[in-house]
Structure 1
Amino acid sequence: MKKFAFAVTAASGAAAVIANHEAEASTQHTVQSGDSLWSISEQYGVSVDEIKQNNNLDNNMVFPGQVIEIGGSDQDSSSNNSSQTSGGSTHTVQSGESLNVIASNYGVSVDELMSANNLNGYLIHPGQSLTIPNGTGTGGSGGSGNGATQTPNTGSSSASDANLYDWGQCTWHVFNRRAETGKPISTYWWNADHWASNAAADGYTVNNTPTAGSIMQNYEGPIGHVAYVEQVNPDGSILISEMNYNTPPGTVDYRTIPASQASSYNYIH
């Protein structure tokens, strides 16, 4: 009986090891505010280099909302090969790509892409693996249904294909982000401190409620400031991307605005 019990215990232990290995191979971690590659590696008992290799990261920067694969290098490799050779069910984000670009390439809408990947904002990063839903090809632009649905009046917004804002400024960045997500804006709203009034005149909704894809606007400094709302977090805080605020012109920066301050800004939808 003792030998039998030992055999059962040994078999159970082996099964547990196998099950644990399989669980580790498919572990995903969603980056939280304050996370770093080092803290994530410590949490899961893996090396920073292993995480970078499995996620095709060429630096140590991670962002809130980013999905990190922990372990499972063989699975990652097969997924990447599948996406590269057959354009199957996954896509590895490349530098310069946006959700709108990826959705258009696969004939799905941005809404479908966000739903399939549980995204609550438009922020994606190089090396991130996205699930491509079996779309019906209904949306090349992929911009419908995201955020507010009001469309601008004709006139000043009709020439919005060209970004005429000063290169590297906050206005230049926000214009580009809206274009990338399929929701272009006017190139004639002038300095940031005029954006709320000019947007309202063009038929956009302007209020104090942030949504993913909306434009945050304030009157800080001599000519105001605008930023792009990448996502609204469950606690009410918001993640924004911007230029020329804490960084030099042309450099994108990310900042989290606490929930207690979020409602004090204007938002253009």
Structure 2
Amino acid sequence: MKKLAFAVTAASGAAAFIANHEADASTQHTVKSGESLWTISQQYGVSVDEIKQSNDINNNMVFPGQVIEIGGSNSSQGHSASSNNASGGSTHTVQAGESLNIIANQYGVSAEEIMSANNLNGYLIHPNQTLTIPGATGTGGSGGTATETPQTNTGNSSASDANLYDWGQCTWHVFNRRAETGQPISTYWWNADHWANNAASDGYTVNNAPTAGSIMQNYEGPVGHVAYVERVNPDGSILISEMNYNTPPGTVDYRTIPASQASSYNYIH
């Protein structure tokens, strides 16, 4: 019996050593729809705080398609992300505040080329996400040769660089988000409940078919509401970003509209 107990103890020690060794290694996990930091932490046997620290996440929000590191260290992950490139392009780790258009200008490529290279079906990217930059020619500061993201429709009125909508409101956010993705709009469409008519008057297409980059508009509340369509999912549901709906003014929130409801809203293209 003593020999058996020793064998079991030795085997357990070996298993623990292997487990600890594997825990030191880094694993990439692509967030799936419905997952949270807690469910991911349970899947890999780590804590939520460990995942947040490894990925510089300062809240509990993760998004479908976001790539996060499980275990390992930020420094080793950063070096591998920037050096592992076998096909002539380069990689870029998204920083807070960056958009596809900003990154495209930095490397002298178009936002659509980045989207294609990374199989993105919308403009939504996240801090710490690693993007493949195809055929990058920029050096990080020069964007003079970049191809700007083509605009869906600039309408008959000239788009403005100045955001004159009230700070932190849904209209303020959508104006900024369209500018970030190279699709500027007018700053004179007034309250959200007037956007569909004013956009149509300016020559924009307004219908009930959402596309990535379009503006969702409805007549909820006293002055209506607008949001930016980040992605159209394969099942017909849409992911939108918005302000001042379920969050205070100035705070960006993300919400998924079911496919059964998506066609009930107006979309400005």
CA distance in 2, matches of 1:125, 1:171: 22
Paired residues of 1:112 and 1:133 also in contact (CA < 8 A): yes
CA distance in 2, matches of 1:220, 1:58: 32
Q: Secondary structure at the match of 2:196?
A: helix
Shift of 1:226: 0.4
CA distance in 2, matches of 1:63, 1:75: 24
Is the alpha carbon distance of 1:181 and 1:30 closer, same or farther for their aligned partners in structure 2, counting shifts above 3 Å?
same
Q: Which residue of 1 aligns with 2:90?
A: 89
Shift of 1:231: 0.7
Which AA in structure 2 matches 1:101?
I
Which AA in structure 1 matches 2:93?
T
CA distance in 2, matches of 1:48, 1:139: 42
Shift of 1:112: 1.1
Shift of 1:164: 0.8
Q: Which residue of 2 aligns with 1:100?
A: 101
Which AA in structure 1 matches 2:212?
A
Task: Please give the per-residue CA displacement for 1:138-188, whole angstroms capped at 9, x wherever unaligned.
Answer: 9725412xxxx642234x3x2511111111111110000000001100111
Shift of 1:46: 3.5
Q: Which residue of 2 aligns with 1:182?
A: 182
After TM superposition, the structure 1 = structure 2 runs for residues 1-269 of structure 1, keeping only pairs within 5 Å, are 27-71=27-71, 73=73, 76-79=77-80, 82=83, 89-135=90-136, 140-144=146-150, 150-154=152-156, 156=157, 158-269=158-269
Q: Show structure 2 runs of 5+ residues with no match.
A: 1-17, 139-143
Q: Secondary structure at the match of 1:172?
A: helix
Identity of aligned residues (%): 79
Q: Secondary structure at the match of 2:57?
A: coil
Paired residues of 2:114 and 2:133 also in contact (CA < 8 A): yes
Shift of 1:243: 0.9
Q: Show structure 1 runs of 5+ residues with no match.
A: 1-16
TM-score, with length taken from structure 1: 0.79
CA distance in 2, matches of 1:150, 1:100: 14
RMSD: 2.7
Which AA in structure 2 matches 1:92?
T
Q: Secondary structure at the match of 1:211?
A: coil
Is the alpha carbon distance of 1:133 and 1:56 closer, same or farther for their aligned partners in structure 2, counting shifts above 3 Å?
farther
Which AA in structure 2 matches 1:151?
N
Shift of 1:202: 1.3
Is the alpha carbon distance of 1:142 and 1:47 closer, same or farther for their aligned partners in structure 2, counting shifts above 3 Å?
farther
Q: Which residue of 2 aligns with 1:6?
A: none
Q: Which residue of 1 aligns with 2:13?
A: none
Q: Secondary structure at the match of 1:103?
A: helix
Paired residues of 1:79 and 1:90 also in contact (CA < 8 A): no
TM-score, with length taken from structure 2: 0.79
Which AA in structure 2 matches 1:212?
A
CA distance in 1, matches of 2:145, 2:32: 31
